[in-house]
Structure 1
């Protein structure tokens, strides 16, 4: 693989998102929602204003799990199939660039745009709240930002894989929405239904390990166990093994969710296009 070809494609994808103001729009969405949660997240308890980093992160985790996967899937679902439908894929592949280089370049460009938007949006919040946070709180907030980037990259990797497998943009978009529903809504409900339906006699011990098969759950656990107050707030301190909640282990699992779907996409792309 040639690094020049990859960076050229990645740069084009990134600057295309900058020129059409996609990056700015997403960054503003993240900033507005995060600031609103930071200052009004405790309104239901009768107080307004920033209360603590624990409450803020707990609320932001719920927001990010719904928002970032959807944005990432919509960003990448037509990365390959869109080029195929427009008739530009054959032209691109006629250039001195391999299929793997093209795929990696597109992914890295889109991931760069998503990463920049995420860091810019939440970074603005960190600047606004900096005077109210100590170094430990800032460290945890930056950890939350980094894990949000990993979550977005994981779902973007899934989106690119779907784009390679889909035969047209309509199917790709449908698969992207179905993927969002499955991982964000259906997966946890299915596990809960199994536990309730069996009276907790089946699947209880395997539940923590089953959650590793969902990048959204890995992200949630990574942030829940980063702060004691957040962990107690979610009530998982007694049912989730602490050895499985190691930040390094969860980070490696999130990285696997980035690499594996992208590897499957590259394998499929080399053989079908």
Structure 2
């Protein structure tokens, strides 16, 4: 009975968080951004080659992967960086904890509510492109595209989990927002450049499997491998065939690594979120 009541409290908090994001039109705004950008990439990605519209499902997904890697982590971090520290600054955290609810339930409730809003906006934003790809490529095209959408959701949840950890660790919203932007720069822009620099500086000694497994330290790279490795033409285009060993390109392994990035930061946040 106690476990049921705890679950009901988590779901109640999640529902409130989700409704708040829905009422302030956050879900609609993000879905609109995804829809506009994904349609532009799908239709005009090949304009420089004199063609309008999707040429192939592989190249469409490759173009959308670049969009997702830059946009979704940033949106997820901005969505969750003040989830806890914002309540603390407003003075409402003590009021919430005065209720018969544990800190873990509060943390999970907020995460699930924000995750629901992020998932809904992501899926809705990519839905129109799915319709267009189905008309163009039938079910064969949708198979890879739906996998892309699911992995995009997982990427967003991984960075949302990191944002929750930052929100627990930061002393105020200003520091939390600064840490969120710094983390986005570090994982999305700087990480791969550092790995490439290490590879060049070592004269290629870091190549092979050792270099490939370093990519697991970044959820953005896991997302890239998860979507591109199964597409032969795009894999050769990105050069992943010579960097990533086949064993690391398995969808279940990359999906498991992404789940670690979702659960791990949340577990650390729970451990740090003490009285």
Partner of 1:34: 38
* Partners of 2:28 and 2:186 in 1: CA distance: 29
TM-score (norm. length: structure 1): 0.97
* Partners of 1:188 and 1:239 in 2: CA distance: 13
* Partners of 1:152 and 1:44 in 2: CA distance: 30
Which residue, out of 77, 80, 87, partners 1:76?
80
Partner of 2:67: 63
1:129 equivalenced with 2:129 (yes/no) = no
Partner of 2:97: 93
1:196 equivalenced with 2:172 (yes/no) = no
Which residue, out of 215, 220, 224, partners 2:224?
220
| Contact 1:26/1:118, CA 8 A, preserved across alignment | yes
* Corresponding pairs, count: 271
Question: Per-residue CA shift, 1:158-205, capped at 9, x if unaligned?
Answer: 000000000000000000000000000110000001111222123554
Which residue, out of 148, 166, 182, partners 1:178?
182
1:238 equivalenced with 2:242 (yes/no) = yes
| Contact 2:76/2:156, CA 8 A, preserved across alignment | yes
Partner of 2:12: 8
1:169 equivalenced with 2:173 (yes/no) = yes
Per the alignment, in what secondary structure is the counterpart of residue 51 of structure 1?
coil
Shift of 1:45: 2.2
Per the alignment, in what secondary structure is the counterpart of residue 242 of structure 2?
coil
- C-alpha change, 1:157 and 1:261, in structure 2 (3 Å) is same
Structure 2 segments unaligned to the other structure (5+ residues): none
Partner of 1:53: 57
Query: What do you get for the CA RMSD once the two structures are aligned?
Result: 1.0
Stretch deviating more after TM superposition (253-262 or 119-128): 119-128
| Contact 1:122/1:145, CA 8 A, preserved across alignment | yes
Shift of 1:50: 1.7
Question: Per-residue CA shift, 1:60-83, capped at 9, x if unaligned?
Answer: 000000000000000000000000
| Contact 1:54/1:229, CA 8 A, preserved across alignment | yes
Which residue, out of 205, 210, 230, partners 1:206?
210
| Contact 2:170/2:176, CA 8 A, preserved across alignment | yes
Partner of 2:251: 247
* Partners of 2:33 and 2:138 in 1: CA distance: 26
TM-score (norm. length: structure 2): 0.96
1:154 equivalenced with 2:175 (yes/no) = no
